[in-house]
């Protein structure tokens, strides 16, 4: 390996390790800040902000990310993904992480496998997107799971004679995150003069793709326009969501065999490769000492990743 390649690889690895350590540190700091804000919210102090500061924070629109605008539909999709995950960075930071990881993967792959190893940069570039997707799915799952209890709490508050705004405030005080933050923000926006419809639209834009939340908002607005028993509406929505959870659990039980088969098939090539490597290392030596072997390795990695994604899509059942 040429000396300049080794220097570049070591520099990139050092930068990646330093960036990872910094990212873990700031993630820990952000977690502590969220815990402190949650404690202040429970104590009723409003996160330590004055009334004027809270009003400015609530009505301040999200800054336009120039990188997202320049990327068009791709930038809009990334922005929606980040909003869904409720992370504290924008599209520009996401693109920077993608470029850095793609460069690290390409350089390391080139140093190990030559030109075919450049393909290693593709899965590493997808890693930040995958992490944000998982964070978004986890947050949405917790939000939907907390929604039935929140609706029942609102129904009981309305039965006790409280108004709709007070019912939202009660959910914000008694329920855990993230449902408490969403309902609390709606209540604060309405208290500072924003219309219910506009506050609900903002909540839906912060949580794109949450169908149950959209049904809840549509029911509230329909009841405000046409009248009706809001308590019964909230209880029916809560019962419907719980029934869907039960149905989803049944579907997950019936598809467990297919998912387990996909897991076994996905791990089988790696197990066979490890068995061959430890039993007869010389047998696999041409795979990384010749350009034909390196190309075959790169092709196998790409096809393996494609097969994993395909099996995952086949095992997932849309309900």
Residue closest to 151 by CA, chosen among 96, 215, 199: 215
Q: What is the CATH number of the domain that holds 233?
A: 1.20.81
In a domain, 307, yes or no: yes
* Single residue among 247, 275, 292 that ends a domain in this structure: 247
DSSP annotation of 194 reads: -
End-to-end CA distance of the chain: 53
* CA dist., res. 142 & res. 86, Å (int): 13
Tell me which residue has tokens 């791709």.
Answer: 74
Q: Are residues 237 and 282 in the same domain?
A: no
Q: Please return the burial class of 155, using the count of CB atoms within 10 Å of its CB with bins 0-12, 13-18 and 19+.
A: buried
Distance of CA 149 to the CA centre of its chain: 23
Report the C-alpha dihedral over residues 219, 224, 230, 233, rounded to 10 degrees.
Answer: -20
Same domain, 262 and 207: no
Q: Is the peptide bond before 182 cis (omega within 30 degrees of 0)?
A: no
Note whether residue 69 is domain-resident.
no
Distance CA 191, CA 209 (A): 27
- Is residue 29, in this structure, part of any structural domain at all? no
Provide the 10 A C-beta neighbour count for residue 256: 11
pLDDT averages per 10-residue partition of the chain, 319 residues: 58 64 64 60 44 45 58 75 76 81 79 73 82 84 87 88 84 83 83 82 81 85 81 87 84 78 79 82 79 83 82 67
Q: What pLDDT, on the 0 to 100 scale, is given for residue 250?
A: 83
Domain finish residue from 213, 231, 247: 247
Residue 179, pLDDT score: 85
- Distance, in Å, from the CA atom of 289 to the CA atom of 33, rounded to the nearest integer, reads 51
Domain span including residue 196: 140-247
Which long-range CB contacts under 8 A does 194-201 form with residues at least 24 apart? 194/58, 194/59, 196/164, 196/220, 196/221, 196/224, 197/221
Looking at the fold, whether 150 and 222 belong to one and the same domain comes out as yes
In a domain, 105, yes or no: no
Tokens of 309: 């994604």
Question: Is 181 part of any domain?
Answer: yes
Return d(Cα 244, Cα 212) in angstroms, integer. 10
Please tell me the predicted confidence (pLDDT) of residue 57: 44
**pTM for the model:** 0.61
Task: Give 119's DSSP letter.
Answer: G
Asked if the structure places residue 219 within a domain, the reply is: yes
Structural domain count of the chain:
2
Q: How confident is the model at residue 58, as a pLDDT?
A: 47
Same domain, 153 and 242: yes
Q: How far, in Å, CA of 180 to CA of 146, rounded?
A: 9
Indicate whether 235 and 150 sit together in one domain.
yes
pLDDT at 9: 60
């Amino acid at each position: 390996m040429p000396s300049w390649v080794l220097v570049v690889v070591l520099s990139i690895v050092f930068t990646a390790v330093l960036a990872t350590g910094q990212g873990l540190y700031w993630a820990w700091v952000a977690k502590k800040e969220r815990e402190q804000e949650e404690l202040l919210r429970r104590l009723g102090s409003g996160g330590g902000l004055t009334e004027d500061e809270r009003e400015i924070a609530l009505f301040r629109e999200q800054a336009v990310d120039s990188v997202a605008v320049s990327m068009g539909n791709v930038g809009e999709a990334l922005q929606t993904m980040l909003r869904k995950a409720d992370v504290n960075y924008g599209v520009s930071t996401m693109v920077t992480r993608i470029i850095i990881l793609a460069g690290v993967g390409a350089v390391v792959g080139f140093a190990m496998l030559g030109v075919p190893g450049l393909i290693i940069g593709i899965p590493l570039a997808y890693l930040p997107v995958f992490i944000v997707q998982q964070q978004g799915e986890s947050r949405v799952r917790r939000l939907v799971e907390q929604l039935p209890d929140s609706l029942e709490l609102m129904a009981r508050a309305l039965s006790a004679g409280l108004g709709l705004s007070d019912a939202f405030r009660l959910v914000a005080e008694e329920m855990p995150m993230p449902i408490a933050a969403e309902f609390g923000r709606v209540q604060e926006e309405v208290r500072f003069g924003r219309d219910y419809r506009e506050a609900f639209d903002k909540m839906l834009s912060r949580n794109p793709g949450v169908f149950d939340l959209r049904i809840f908002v549509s029911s509230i607005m329909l009841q405000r326009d046409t009248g009706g028993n809001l308590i019964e509406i909230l209880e029916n929505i809560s019962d419907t969501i719980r029934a869907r959870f039960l149905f989803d659990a049944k579907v997950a039980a019936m598809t467990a065999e297919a998912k387990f088969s996909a897991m076994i098939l996905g791990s089988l090539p790696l197990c066979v490769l490890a068995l061959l490597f430890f039993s007869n290392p010389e047998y696999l030596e041409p795979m990384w000492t010749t350009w034909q072997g390196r190309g075959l390795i790169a092709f196998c990695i790409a096809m393996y990743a494609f097969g994993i994604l395909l099996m995952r899509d086949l095992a997932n059942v849309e309900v």
